[in-house]
Structure 1
Amino acid sequence: MSALLIRGARLFDGDTWRDDAVIAVADGRFVPASNAPAGAEVIDARGLLVVPGFIDLQVNGGGGINFNDAPSLKTIERICTAHARFGTTALLPTLITDRREARTEAIAAGKAARAAGVPGFLGLHLEGPHLSATKRGVHAAAYVRPMDDTDIRELMGALAGAGPTMLTVAPESTPVDAVRRLVAAGGVISLGHTDCDYDTALAYIAAGATTATHLFNAMSPLGHRTPGMVGAILESGISAGLIADGIHVHPAAARIALRAKRGPGRIFLVTDAMLTIGTDLADFELNGRTIFRRDGRLALADGTLAGADIDMLSSVRYAAEHFDIGLDEAIRMATLYPAEAMRVGHRKGRVAPGFDADFLLMTPTFDLQSTWIGGQKAHSA
């Protein structure tokens, strides 16, 4: 694997900015500049920014295909390639509610992608089918169902070999003991598509759920007498994904949530992107229904939102401009915080010795010049 020595950049390492930085890469990881291997390729990055690569924990598709369309190794490769064009260096291909066989295929594809070392593949996100019927959103009603023992056995098998895995479940359809078992096996349990009340949410958090899926969307809202799932997320200290496109969440609601959020968990950015990313496609099919692409919005004919038509670079820009947090925190919401939510914060989300060499070269106006995964160039503008 090639070695790199990057000189002269303005670096955001995950904590602070440093001018005229020297960054060294060897064997796919950042190393101290003094340890740069002899013969390393030198990159003159004067006038450019270096930031950690983006991490997206909810990616339905990209490059003209959704993971549900064909849950395979080839599909994962295509999705990862499509999102690298927009600065994403690690992602979770996301399978939404579908037939049982689709999940079995997705798990096998995830294991194959991990074995093949697909650049940009972090693990899987299985969103459903164990969701609330009343908060299912675009998820097909015919496939939404309670979790049973067969499901638990299959999911335990997935956790044994597909790498970091996020499971979005609703308390209405998932036994609390199943959450304990799946967490003990290494799963990241995310509560979502649920109409559960505040106390129920807290019980599932106590059982081991550590994240929530697309804050505000498809969940019981915050009321002054019924705090709901939103109240539990803000009060309990778990992490939560947020879609920053100005369509799924009003920027004022996002600003309020960011001010109110109790740690240690953080709100992180997700795209919930569909196959449209990196294409000029108009309408497409999902579970036999037409999804219409109009003015940055993806929806069924009745207006039900169906994922998002936004990439992570655009999400970071939107958050920086509209959430009153500045560029530094917007970058962390797309790098360090999702890494911590998936328990890989010890190796991803920062530009520092020992971390995976996933980084972006940007112009001073925050336009992407190139994407690097494991020290290898994955995309060049």
Structure 2
Amino acid sequence: MKAIVNGRILFDGQIIENKALLFEDKIIGIVDIQEMSQDVEIIDAKGHYVAPGFIDIHIHGYDTKDTMDGTEEAIRTIAKGIAQNGVTSFLPTTMTMSKEEIITALEVCRTVKAQGSEGSQVLGVHMEGPYINEAFKGAQNGKYIQEPNADAVQFVKDYQDIVKLITIAPEIEGANEFIKEISNNTGIALSMGHTKADFNQAMEGIEAGITHTTHLFNAMTPLHHRNPGVVGAALASEKVSCEMICDTIHVNKGLYPLVMKAKAPDKFVLVTDCMCAGGCKDGEYALGGQAVFVTEGSARLQDGTLAGSVLRLNEALRNVIEHTEYGVEKAIEFATINPAKTIKVDAFKGTLDTGKDADIIFFDDAVNIKYVINRGKTIHENN
């Protein structure tokens, strides 16, 4: 048994001090220091925050590697790299590419999930497309967009053990039938994104079974007072959570408080949408088979279209704390229990409750990651 002491424990919306967090591969509990047995291994948090590990449910790549590379090496490299940012579990995210390439990516992720990875844990896959709208494809490749027909339903069911989340445009032909079938008969969550839906079509998609929104504001119909669009539906509906890329590039930081009022505390999710240039220097990279140019933290296609990000999840949390009224004790939920609920893994991930996986991170007041534990094992230490 191990015990973390001298930390500011983030638990149940509070900051708990002068206590010890006991764990093995699972969380044992938070106890008075005097109650600890003498044979525990002590880990000194050195006054840092002690929190559940971050969960990134939308990330394409990191450290020059991409999910669509279709190799175990790529997934393992991503897993190891993002652990340094406090991410203890994640969904490698596919792009709208050929069916064969998507299958390869799914098979590889299935293998790595089963075998385990050094660093962050693969929980499953986020399929971003290929069932999207050409008009709002963003950095996705329109050549490979597919219809969500009966064959698509069967394809997804064949991979329901690994697919945890699917981004779909609810207005395209066959989408609502697809959404109903998948939401009712699998454990997969459906998210609306890369969509030209109007407000009514978006609400119909939500009624059909959509429970999440992919990178709110980006690649969807905007909020207008007479035509509220997908953004309006996402903010208005209590049934959907909203993920947002809080790098201050994808969404103006001045809007963060407004979104918080609509979706926080339990329906707001931080994601990175990071591509392979994450953790790397500026230059030319690729996403979904298209050239991406990274300059001063912004990743764009040749025509200027935003193409994912190079955001780290700890930076996203820092940005939200800096630009909203949420303190760290509540904001931590945006990167932990909220994404866990979105993909239905909150029974064993997302908090420091007794019995959950011992995914634990330490960070300082500026959310710089100092120490990372994944299921009881130390996977990163920043001295």
Smaller-chain TM-score range? Answer: over 0.9
Q: Which residue of 1 aligns with 2:171?
A: 172
Q: Distance in 2 between matches of 1:246 and 1:194?
A: 22
CA positional deviation for 1:56:
0.7
- Per-residue CA distance 1:275-330 (angstroms, 9 max, x = gap): 11222252112344321111110001211000011100111111110133222232
CA positional deviation for 1:63:
1.5
Q: Distance in 1 between matches of 2:75 and 2:17?
A: 37
Q: Which residue of 2 aligns with 1:4?
A: 2
Q: Which residue of 2 aligns with 1:104?
A: 103
Residue segments in structure 1 that go unaligned for 5+ positions in a row: none
Q: Is 343-352 or 192-201 further displaced after alignment?
A: 343-352
CA positional deviation for 1:8:
2.1
Task: Please list, as runs of the form range in 1=range in 2, the aligned pairs for 1:196-275 lying within 5 A after superposition.
Answer: 196-237=197-238, 238-261=240-263, 266-275=267-276
Q: Is 205-214 or 176-185 further displaced after alignment?
A: 176-185
3-state SS in 2 of match to 1:11: strand
Q: Which residue of 1 aligns with 2:115?
A: 116
- Per-residue CA distance 1:59-112 (angstroms, 9 max, x = gap): 0000211111x2233322111111001111111100011111111112212221
1:182 lines up with 2:179 in the alignment: no
CA positional deviation for 1:369:
1.0
Q: Which residue of 2 aligns with 1:350?
A: 351
- Per-residue CA distance 1:170-208 (angstroms, 9 max, x = gap): 023343111111112111000100010111111111111
Task: Please list, as runs of the form range in 1=range in 2, the aligned pairs for 1:325-364 lying within 5 A after superposition.
Answer: 325-364=326-365
Paired letter, 1:254: Y
User: Residues 276 and 286 of structure 2 are in contact (CA less than 8 Å); yes or no, is this contact kept in structure 1?
Assistant: no
Paired letter, 2:128: E
Paired letter, 2:52: P
Task: Please list, as runs of the form range in 1=range in 2, the aligned pairs for 1:1-381 lying within 5 A after superposition.
Answer: 3-26=1-24, 28-32=25-29, 39-68=39-68, 70-118=69-117, 119-159=120-160, 161-162=161-162, 165-173=164-172, 174-183=174-183, 184-237=185-238, 238-261=240-263, 266-280=267-281, 282-381=283-382
Paired letter, 1:331: I
Paired letter, 1:18: I
- Per-residue CA distance 1:251-281 (angstroms, 9 max, x = gap): 1222212213388x61110000011122225
3-state SS in 1 of match to 2:345: coil
Cα distance, 1:289–1:175 mapped onto 2, change above 3 Å: closer
Cα distance, 1:170–1:206 mapped onto 2, change above 3 Å: same
User: Residues 53 and 360 of structure 1 are in contact (CA less than 8 Å); yes or no, is this contact kept in structure 2?
Assistant: yes
> Percent identity at matched positions?
30
RMSD: 1.9
Paired letter, 1:245: D
- Per-residue CA distance 1:12-63 (angstroms, 9 max, x = gap): 124210012201112x110035797884421122422211111111000002
Cα distance, 1:196–1:29 mapped onto 2, change above 3 Å: same
Cα distance, 1:18–1:195 mapped onto 2, change above 3 Å: same
Q: Is 110-119 or 89-98 further displaced after alignment?
A: 110-119
Q: Distance in 2 between matches of 1:115 and 1:226?
A: 46
Cα distance, 1:79–1:362 mapped onto 2, change above 3 Å: same
User: Residues 236 and 262 of structure 1 are in contact (CA less than 8 Å); yes or no, is this contact kept in structure 2?
Assistant: no
Aligned residue-pair number: 374
User: Residues 168 and 192 of structure 1 are in contact (CA less than 8 Å); yes or no, is this contact kept in structure 2?
Assistant: yes
Q: Distance in 2 between matches of 1:312 and 1:287?
A: 22
Cα distance, 1:365–1:196 mapped onto 2, change above 3 Å: closer
CA positional deviation for 1:362:
2.0
User: Residues 284 and 292 of structure 1 are in contact (CA less than 8 Å); yes or no, is this contact kept in structure 2?
Assistant: yes
Paired letter, 2:26: R
3-state SS in 2 of match to 1:172: coil
